Structure 1
């Protein structure tokens, strides 16, 4: 009854199943490991933040480029404040507001985006405090450049002059006339009565939307593996039923053709 398993068609089905199931299990396990890694990053985030605050600030140039190891570290930079921009649609403690972003022209010639603080409400340039004049030394947490989609960052389009959606060299290069560092700093203590902006999570780490996408993909891959097994047993059962019916001489109704039909039609045809 099971000789059909040795046919070329079933050899192909069996090989596909034997390859598909381990592949689905591997992909599901890999997505689960990525989610678990993000959970570990989230658990260690507070400890890393405390450690970063306790460490002595180091010169900016020694901590570049920004990666998972240097993100959130304390850095110092010296220069003069220049252009000021607003970053709208930023939430803090459940309230909507905006960042006040000022570019620091460093001694090295490049400009460093510095988030001097957060203000509630709609972004208005007239309400943003002016930066200190003269040469200043800033100390704050180093952050990686933002990209649309990271931590709720929206796209650039549709903003008025003097505003930017993302804090990154790619977004700011068209707004300022000089070279920029591919990083930014949030001050430890906000200027002029503004609220200090907390250090954000490094992109692609922590329990963000992408982390839960990894968890969802984990479930999908294991469902795919179960579906492959289900379909194999379903095909096997149908093939066994066909083989049993053939052994008993049972022909499916839709395949049955009355053997006497042609003769009857011929007999009923009048002879002229």
Structure 2
């Protein structure tokens, strides 16, 4: 027997495999990418894509709208402040020419003539950090209507004995025109049950049952208070201040833009998970789930 070892042909080195064609590799890679993302054309993903395409513009639109509301309130507040400053030096105009009260006329100086009639107190009003009450007197004008006139403010609890009597005879008043108050806004009392001779809000709706006159839907605060009282400064009309509602608009703006970003983030997250699932399923690493068919990768 020869002493030569038997060599298994399978252990002999074979010829090296040929280098892959780069164009073929590129074509297979392209088909793989197309296969992985082919799930975007399934009905399930059509629904997801349509939802995202509708939700994102809607959220952006709502956020922009809320931002415009906030900017509008800021502009109104600036205009009202400028108008109040301008109105103090503006020449007084006849009351009838400045009605009805709106954002352009609120705070402007007006003048009216007549005779004082019924007098009421408006409790629970603060001025310079102190609590007190307004002295409100109805001015009966020649038009047959009565104009509520705030003649001044006094500290302490509302007491008719503290309020000075109005001047007798024909008088001419000059002051800032104000819109009727709404109970519950800007510190205006909303509760009822006040004693006789008192009112919580200065408005025609609140006064119509308290005085026997037809009323203007407006009121005036005098430039100079009567009889040692303190003059009540004019206030900006409702909806023109940087109040809670204005900052709510700013908060809603942020919320809508966050929603838009969240929708986009969730879409990319779902896309990434689906791609990983398709690749793992194509390699047989995960079982096939009902309703999700792995797409061939090449």
Match of 1:110 in 2: 145
Instruction: State how 1:84-123 maps to structure 2 within 5 Å.
Output: 84-123=119-158
Describe the shift of the 1:160–1:226 C-alpha distance in structure 2 as closer, same or farther (beyond 3 A): farther
Match of 2:232 in 1: 197
Instruction: State how 1:149-160 maps to structure 2 within 5 Å.
Output: 149-160=184-195
Match of 2:212 in 1: 177
How far, CA to CA, are the matches of 2:287 and 2:142 in structure 1?
88
How far, CA to CA, are the matches of 1:138 and 1:89 in structure 2?
25
Query: Once the 2 structures are TM-superposed, how far is the Cα of residue 254 of structure 1 from its aligned partner?
Result: 11
Match of 2:248 in 1: 213
How far, CA to CA, are the matches of 2:246 and 2:142 in structure 1?
40
Larger radius of gyration: 2
Which stretch of structure 1 is more off in the superposition, 16-25 or 68-77? Answer: 16-25
How far, CA to CA, are the matches of 1:171 and 1:13 in structure 2?
55
How far, CA to CA, are the matches of 2:75 and 2:282 in structure 1?
60
Match of 1:125 in 2: 160
Asked whether 1:223 is paired with 2:258, we answer yes
Judge conservation of contact 1:156–1:164 (CA < 8 Å) in 2.
Answer: no
How far, CA to CA, are the matches of 2:141 and 2:228 in structure 1?
24
Judge conservation of contact 2:139–2:146 (CA < 8 Å) in 1.
Answer: yes
Asked whether 1:147 is paired with 2:182, we answer yes
Match of 1:13 in 2: 48
Match of 2:108 in 1: 73
- CA RMSD for the aligned pairs? 2.2
How far, CA to CA, are the matches of 1:195 and 1:116 in structure 2?
9
- C-alpha offsets along residues 84-107 of structure 1, whole Å, 9 cap, x if unaligned? 222222221112222111111111
Match of 1:25 in 2: 60
Query: Once the 2 structures are TM-superposed, how far is the Cα of residue 46 of structure 1 from its aligned partner?
Result: 4.1
Asked whether 1:163 is paired with 2:198, we answer yes
Count, aligned residues: 255
Look up the SS of the partner of 1:213 in the other structure: helix
Match of 1:58 in 2: 93
Describe the shift of the 1:159–1:6 C-alpha distance in structure 2 as closer, same or farther (beyond 3 A): farther
Match of 1:239 in 2: 274
Which stretch of structure 1 is more off in the superposition, 9-18 or 115-124? Answer: 9-18
Query: Once the 2 structures are TM-superposed, how far is the Cα of residue 183 of structure 1 from its aligned partner?
Result: 0.7
Q: Specify every segment of 5 or more residues in structure 1 that has no aligned partner in the other structure, as ranges.
A: 256-272
- C-alpha offsets along residues 230-271 of structure 1, whole Å, 9 cap, x if unaligned? 22223323333433343233446999xxxxxxxxxxxxxxxx
Match of 1:41 in 2: 76
Judge conservation of contact 2:123–2:198 (CA < 8 Å) in 1.
Answer: yes
Look up the SS of the partner of 1:151 in the other structure: coil
Q: Specify every segment of 5 or more residues in structure 2 that has no aligned partner in the other structure, as ranges.
A: 1-35, 291-298
- C-alpha offsets along residues 65-86 of structure 1, whole Å, 9 cap, x if unaligned? 1111111111111112122222
Query: TM-score, with normalisation over the residues of structure 2?
Result: 0.78
Judge conservation of contact 1:100–1:117 (CA < 8 Å) in 2.
Answer: yes
